[in-house]
Amino acid sequence: MIGIEARGGVPATVKSTADGESAGLLRIAFSEDGEESLEPISWEDFFAKFEEQELAFLYQEETKEGGVSCFFKLVNRE
């Protein structure tokens, strides 16, 4: 996705919401997060859940100061 890996991000799911065969709540885990509640998943699994849930990916390309931004939000498509 839009520079996610270039920013140190990987597709992930919230461990407590995963259902064996299916990813749970989707997230992007960035190396600086240190989130132990997240489990990396494949892009294939991420996009399968993304499409199943009819999500859209909103992101900020750069910060107000012009730096690289890691802000994103997964929202329902309307």
As a whole number, mean pLDDT of residues 2-27 equals: 80
pLDDT tens across 4-14, in order?
888 888 999 88
Cβ–Cβ < 8 Å for 14, 38: yes
Q: What are phi and psi of 45, to 5 degrees?
A: -65, -40
| pTM summary value | 0.76
The domain containing residue 19 runs over which residues? 5-76
Q: Are 47 and 28 in contact (CB under 8 A)?
A: no
Q: How many domains does the chain have?
A: 1
